[in-house]
Structure 1
Amino acid sequence: MAGMGQTARAPSTAQVPTRTDSWPWPDYLRSFACAWDICQAAWLPPRDLRTLVRRRWQNLVSFARDRSALYRALYAGVREQDLESLSALPIVTKTMMMNGFDKLVTSPALQRRTLEAFIADPQRVGRPFAGGFAVWTSSGTSGEPGIFVHDASALAVYDALQLYRFRGAAASIEMGVSSLALGRFALVAATGGHFAGVASVERLRSMFPWMAQRLRVITLMQPLDMLVAELNEYQPSLIATYPSAAALLAQEQQAGRLRIDPTQVWTGGECLSEATRQIVQETFGADVRDEYGASEFASIAVGCPAGWLHVNADWVVLEPVDDQYQPVAPGQPSHTVLLTNLANRAQPLIRYDLGDSITVRAGPCECGNRLPAIHVQGRGDDLLELHGRGGVAVRLLPLALTTVLEEGAGLYDFQLVQLGPRALRLHVGVREHAKADRARSALRGFLDCQGLDGVRIDQDTGPPRCRGAGGKLRRIIRESEQHEPELATNH
């Protein structure tokens, strides 16, 4: 990849490597150039950063017009002078992207039909597609799932951002010392799909076999006592998980059932409240770090000690807008946010409606970081607590429940409401009524495995309620919570 001020280059779309289960050997020259670029950009004066970003998005737009049939058609009616302003370009939605997928991507190897066959195989999670592309899927919180393909240059950018912005400048030394000291990393997450976090860990395990025993994905889909037992056996020195799961593990640690001693806890996928941060930090005596990412761009923003998320604005552009796609002023929450990924050429995303609501900080952050600071709001799903055999309380994480319905039944437009300690109601969107029985069966199987075979599942033919900012559903709700203000959440 090119150095400072130049645009990242994707692998040639004219010569796609043969499909293989092995990742190419790391391009250390590209990684070094990318790391140098990112370290410099963090300290650029605002004017120079704007110049760098403008050059990158203009190059991206030019590339997309030339190589993507969808963007070529989309920009056909755009006046030449409007191509000089990112905010003047048309908006792309997830529905547009998925309906026109084969026309949007820039490589002939990236066809929706073959990609869907690839992601249908759970054994391929974290494996390369067509020799060097990463494939990630997103949840259907707006009613439709997404497929996202990232090229080698984009992956190099994401890796460098997470290494030098999220983990800190001394991360490489820390990780090296940790490895020599037999430290272990655990991603505690929902499994069953090609989710970005899980796929990224499996990619690292594949690329660096000598580290595979020290990198583990631990599924949240198993009963809590089994999760606790696996963590106790593995003894991770570093845990990455959702804030709700981190809080749950802190409760288990306080109760004496979980007995681990991590030095760091990384959180993402949901909002990390200050109360949760304090509980996790005090319980484990660990450094807690937060990150905002998505399948569309792995590391959008990183947390700071002041409680803000700082956007990696040299490689991703965020435009907060209202429900008419008009700009929203700093200090005001947006209806949604438009994302432009400056790193990825395989599947260009330019002014893509991400669906999250953000609030941009009006002034500089007291932490000293010059990059733009934001807060993120979203759907705010609830942790459920149901009563199992003998009245034993069983807590279920919302992301585990949504994964059961999405991956087990292909259901995306739904809402699951807890009616009481032994009753749930499943709302299914009109377009997906045919999947209702399969969804109920998948949910029944999951509950039975959790010791909740006595819990009743009612079905409602009415549409899901309680949509959040940007049209995203609150999908897992305790009945008493339905009319309360929404909690914040990351994508």
Structure 2
Amino acid sequence: MADASQRSAVMFRTLNLIRASRLARQAQLMSRADLLKLQEQRWRAMARHALEVSPFYRRHLKGIDVERCQLTDIPPITKELMLENWDEIVADPRLRRAALDAYLKEPKNWNRLHHGRWMVSTTAGTSAVVTPTVHDVNAVDWIYATANVRHSASPRSSADAAEEPSSPGLRRRLKVIAFVTDASPAISAIMYRTRPRIGALFSRYHAISITAPWPEILAQVQRIQPDAMMGYASLLGRLAKAQLSGELNIRMPQGRGYLSAGGDATTPGIRDLCRRAFGIEPFSTYGCGETLGIARQWSGMQHMLCHDDLLAFEAVDAQGQPVPEGVLSDHALATPLMNKALPLLRYRINDRVKLGPVDSEWPFRRIEQLIGRSSMNYTFKTPEIRAFTGMLFLFKMDERDDVAAYQFRQTAPDAVEALVVPSPGVDEARLVRGMEEQMRHSLDQAGCNAVKVSARVVPQILPDPRTGKVEQNVPLPEE
């Protein structure tokens, strides 16, 4: 009976992936106008679904006609509002908050779909508040489908390539390393562990714990000899340094091989390290636990492109009004269009983004700049209390090609320092002076004139032992 159930689940996901891939190909071949019509159809359908299943949304949208309103007429929802009303938002009684908290306390559940229908995990996201997330399997498979059909310079060539046969008998399967955490039910790890089995026909996947000792990580990568790697940008940069120093010796295939980076900043320095070490530049990905994929970069792309058929993504100012193209937003609002388990309409994300024009080949809008994958806030005492957002330190960092990795750390109530790993060939003394001047300018603009700044060069920045991520801002713990 169990085998029959497993076969049925595999068949369901296979058919789901085929359908999602077909619809994704259709969407990427549309004109921009037709794509926006499709997007509107989908967000209105999600709004109708929210009204049907959610007492919260029936209050939240009172007086709004979702058949005629504009998306901007719908009031946004914050993480705090979502958490306060969780049990009245989720679509199924089995997804109540207490039940999910109990479910996630059992590590054995981190390797399976809840009731075979939902991927359940946690995320700290940009707020450092641990948040449950739940996605129905249909929404998850759309992410896999778009990754399969969007990977070349134009939508036509990408769709054609996706239809080519690629079975093990015709083409060697890629060896792919996914760096995951086994210390918590993080969404990236659970996505890997619950991936569709059909993916094994095209790639051989190997999971490596990002919290393992560094020598052990290097030994596993050396043994596997991967064709592709997926993980934090900071980890890929560290592996590139190991390759250049001779600690690691792998040969990644040009053309088919890839590096997929997400979760922290893919700096120009990390791009350069990976290019020199592996002959491959990493692709950037952008998403959050509550919405899954928002945008990604792929072969032939200079920028990330929004998945405008999977979500409606808005860049807005502090008052929630749309900002013009090319202007950095105060925050963003996302409306996922596929996940009916946890309907979110205009969900606030505390990232600052600069949207660009629609791509010349694809009907998707570009993201030209992304700042704020951390919203860590500093409290300085000089002795006056001064509040400072770590985002201000990050504004210029994605423009610097002289820094491979970095971290800002509060060292005292009135002091902060920058740890920097320089790009090869950089004048270290000049880099330190430049970083200190940049920090001084950011703090002075925020009225933190008495805060002391310093910068120093380090050979590497160690990741957080729990998450494996290199945190970009580390304030002192709250008293």
TM tier, shorter chain?
A: 0.7 to 0.9
Deviation at 1:351, TM superposition (A): 0.3
Instruction: Give the counterpart of 1:99 among 62, 80, 84.
Output: 84
Distance 1:122 1:465, change over 3 A: farther
Q: Which residue number corresponds to residue 390 of structure 1?
A: none
Q: Which residue number corresponds to residue 328 of structure 2?
A: 333
Deviation at 1:326, TM superposition (A): 1.4
Q: Gapped runs of 5+ residues in structure 2?
A: 153-157, 398-405, 410-415, 419-435, 444-469, 473-479
Deviation digits for residues 413-440 of structure 1 (CA, Å, limit 9, x no counterpart): 977xxxxxxxxxxx899xxxxxxxxxxx
Deviation digits for residues 119-156 of structure 1 (CA, Å, limit 9, x no counterpart): 22222224111221111221153142221111122122
Deviation at 1:195, TM superposition (A): 1.9
Q: Which residue number corresponds to residue 243 of structure 2?
A: 253
Opposite residue 389 of structure 2, the aligned amino acid is: C
Distance 1:135 1:313, change over 3 A: same
Deviation at 1:181, TM superposition (A): 3.2
Deviation at 1:282, TM superposition (A): 2.6
Instruction: Give the counterpart of 2:102 among 110, 117, 120.
Output: 117
Deviation at 1:290, TM superposition (A): 2.3
Q: Which residue number corresponds to residue 374 of structure 1?
A: 367
Q: Which residue number corresponds to residue 347 of structure 2?
A: 352
Deviation at 1:348, TM superposition (A): 0.3
Deviation digits for residues 13-52 of structure 1 (CA, Å, limit 9, x no counterpart): xxxxxxx999922423332222111111112112111111
Opposite residue 68 of structure 1, the aligned amino acid is: S
The 3-state SS of whatever aligns with 1:129 is coil
Counterpart contact for 2:285–2:304, Cα < 8 Å: yes
Query: Which range moved further: 316-325 or 164-173?
Result: 164-173
Distance 1:31 1:414, change over 3 A: closer
Q: Does residue 480 of the first structure (1) align with residue 475 of the second (2)?
A: no
Distance 1:124 1:81, change over 3 A: closer
Instruction: Give the counterpart of 1:468 among 388, 391, 398.
Output: 391
Q: Gapped runs of 5+ residues in structure 1?
A: 1-19, 382-412, 416-426, 430-461
Q: Which residue number corresponds to residue 319 of structure 2?
A: 324
The 3-state SS of whatever aligns with 2:194 is helix
Distance 1:303 1:140, change over 3 A: closer
Deviation at 1:242, TM superposition (A): 1.6
Opposite residue 101 of structure 1, the aligned amino acid is: W
Measured in 1, the distance between the counterparts of 2:57 and 2:246 equals 56
Deviation digits for residues 227-273 of structure 1 (CA, Å, limit 9, x no counterpart): 11121122222111121111110000011111122332111122323
Measured in 2, the distance between the counterparts of 1:175 and 1:188 equals 25
Distance 1:54 1:213, change over 3 A: closer
What TM-score results when the alignment is normalised by the length of structure 1?
0.71
Distance 1:299 1:181, change over 3 A: same
Number of positions where the alignment pairs a residue of Structure 1 with one of Structure 2? 390
Q: Which residue number corresponds to residue 63 of structure 1?
A: 49
Q: Does residue 265 of the first structure (1) align with residue 259 of the second (2)?
A: yes
Deviation at 1:342, TM superposition (A): 0.5
Distance 1:375 1:23, change over 3 A: farther
Deviation digits for residues 293-312 of structure 1 (CA, Å, limit 9, x no counterpart): 22123221121545211111
Query: Which range moved further: 233-242 or 247-256?
Result: 233-242
Deviation digits for residues 61-113 of structure 1 (CA, Å, limit 9, x no counterpart): 1111111111111112x343795211011111111111111110011111111
Q: Which residue number corresponds to residue 22 of structure 2?
A: 36
What TM-score results when the alignment is normalised by the length of structure 2?
0.72
Distance 1:173 1:116, change over 3 A: farther
The two structures, once aligned, show a CA RMSD in angstroms of 3.6
Measured in 2, the distance between the counterparts of 1:365 and 1:311 equals 10
Distance 1:104 1:299, change over 3 A: same
Opposite residue 54 of structure 1, the aligned amino acid is: E
Residue identity (%): 22
Measured in 2, the distance between the counterparts of 1:83 and 1:245 equals 47
The 3-state SS of whatever aligns with 2:52 is helix
Matches within 5 A, 1:236-247: 236-247=226-237
Q: Which residue number corresponds to residue 280 of structure 1?
A: 274
Counterpart contact for 2:231–2:262, Cα < 8 Å: yes
Opposite residue 235 of structure 1, the aligned amino acid is: Q
Q: Which residue number corresponds to residue 461 of structure 2?
A: none
Q: Does residue 48 of the first structure (1) align with residue 10 of the second (2)?
A: no
Structure with more of its chain in strand, by fraction: 2
Measured in 1, the distance between the counterparts of 2:109 and 2:342 equals 20
Q: Which residue number corresponds to residue 155 of structure 1?
A: 140
Q: Does residue 75 of the first structure (1) align with residue 61 of the second (2)?
A: yes
Distance 1:189 1:375, change over 3 A: farther
Measured in 1, the distance between the counterparts of 2:293 and 2:166 equals 19
Counterpart contact for 1:338–1:353, Cα < 8 Å: yes
Distance 1:140 1:358, change over 3 A: closer
Deviation at 1:380, TM superposition (A): 6.0
Measured in 2, the distance between the counterparts of 1:218 and 1:85 equals 45
The 3-state SS of whatever aligns with 2:183 is coil
Opposite residue 310 of structure 2, the aligned amino acid is: W
Query: Which range moved further: 172-181 or 135-144?
Result: 172-181
Opposite residue 408 of structure 2, the aligned amino acid is: I
Q: Which residue number corresponds to residue 409 of structure 1?
A: none
Distance 1:24 1:235, change over 3 A: same
Counterpart contact for 1:317–1:340, Cα < 8 Å: yes
Distance 1:180 1:198, change over 3 A: farther
Measured in 1, the distance between the counterparts of 2:258 and 2:301 equals 18
Q: Which residue number corresponds to residue 217 of structure 2?
A: 227
